[in-house]
Amino acid sequence: MEDDPKVVLMGEDIGKLGGVFRITDGLQKDFGEARVVDTPLAEAGIIGTAVGLAMRGYRPVCEIQFDGFVFPAYNQIVTQVAKIHARSRGRLPMPITIRIPFGGGIGAVEHHSESPEAYFAHTTGLKVVAVSNPADAYWMLQQAIACPDPVVFFEPKRRYWDKADVDLDVAPPPLFTSRVVRAGDDLTLLAYGPMVKTALQAAQAAEEEGRSIEVIDLRTLSPLDLGPVEESVRRTGRCVVVHEAQTNLGLGAEIATRVTESCFHSLEAPVLRVGGYDVTYPPSKLEEEYLPDLDRVLDVVDRAMEF
């Protein structure tokens, strides 16, 4: 915001309160009410206003308070934000960043623990990314805001309290790239957002059983960056995709298809998936039964290794 006076933040309770997760805490005090705007409880209005601001040269950053609240704005996002650049034959850029806290694991009530990323990744004209750690959150948010295209920016709620040092002297990787976060030789484990930490824990546990698991943080969901994935799978011969969202017609299905198409002759086992069950997200007392955990990931790793 210091570098670009055209960056404007909008959202419910993001100003005086600093957001329900305090992500924008102090920014209204520093930059004023005209640039950090407390909006009414009207998600369609937030995104619709952002579209108008983007047309006038601003870079709006919209916070959707919780994942389940994005659906009133869904029409604006998929029919306006995603299409205006193409509709105007490139004359109107849409540099809008839409931040969405997503996923479960914090004991929240209905509409507060959903994983809607596949809806947006399926929409042409949108870029979709998911962060998994503090350093990526720091860099990728700035890269998203600088991007000339609309970016749906997913932030895993249960990782908000993770802390880590950020090396400001090292240039970050490009925004729309995946990254190997743990090297291995026996199986490739793909994850994004909140499940990267679980995948790394699974790889650590598998090492104690003599298995070498490579973990890749996908980071970008649309466009997918499968170059590092394909290179890894051609070495390991096995691949498991992990995400919190339901496996039915989820991103894991698309990734499994593409990996199978491109790495078929290298595969020693079918590409397997671990994800949420195909049910409505359960009440908070049951969410630990719904969310993929270390044991479920390791069970599927065992299945893949048995082929």
CA gap 116, 91 in Å, rounded: 30
Is 265 annotated as catalytic? no
For residue 44, give Cα distances in angstroms to 31, 76, 129, 130, 197. Answer: 25, 6, 21, 22, 33
Catalytic residue among 85, 111, 112, 122: 112
**Of 86, 128, 99, the residue nearest 219 (C-alpha):** 128
Strand ranges, E, within 228-282: 239-246, 272-276
Interacting residues of 298 by C-beta distance below 8 A, sequence separation 6+: 202, 205, 206
* ω into 228 cis (within 30 of 0): no
- Residues with a catalytic annotation lie at 112
